[in-house]
Amino acid sequence: MSDCIFCKIVAGSIPSNKVYEDDEVLAFHDINPTAPVHVLIIPKKHIATTLDFAPEEDDRLVGKLVTTATRLARELGIDQSGFRLVFNTHHDGGQEVYHVHLHLLGGREFTWPAG
């Protein structure tokens, strides 16, 4: 999608502070972090919201987003203290960029319920 900021990051036309990349997934530090560690893990394929995941077709990709996040949690040293993984969907769910992204948040204590 030509107007999607995350697609532009995937294409390399907008720089990012990458922490991981392979053929399907890109992970980079959030430019407006809400925790000491705040990484976004995105599919390179444009998918607007979690409601747009194709059953069966995207099952492996969703799993890869989560396993990439947990690998990065270990590499970034937040695996022992704890971390949060968050998908936001639509406006009321807190989604600001309409390209699926998984937030990896850590480095501080979180309270529940959120919001």
User: Quick check: pTM over 0.85?
Assistant: yes
Minimum mean pLDDT among 11-20, 42-51, 106-115: which range? 106-115
The answer to whether 101 is a known catalytic residue is yes
Say which of 29, 38, 46, 101 is annotated catalytic. 101
Strands (E), 4-72: 18-21, 25-29, 37-43
How far lies 32's CA from each of 29, 37, 40, 51, 89, in Å? Answer: 9, 11, 11, 25, 18
Number of helices (H) and strands (E) in the chain: give both, helices first: 2, 5
Residue whose entry in the numeric block shows the structure tokens 């987003």: 65
Sketch out the chain's domains with CATH numbers: 5-106 (3.30.428.10)
pLDDT, tens digit, for every residue of 6-40? 999 999 999 999 999 999 999 999 999 999 999 99
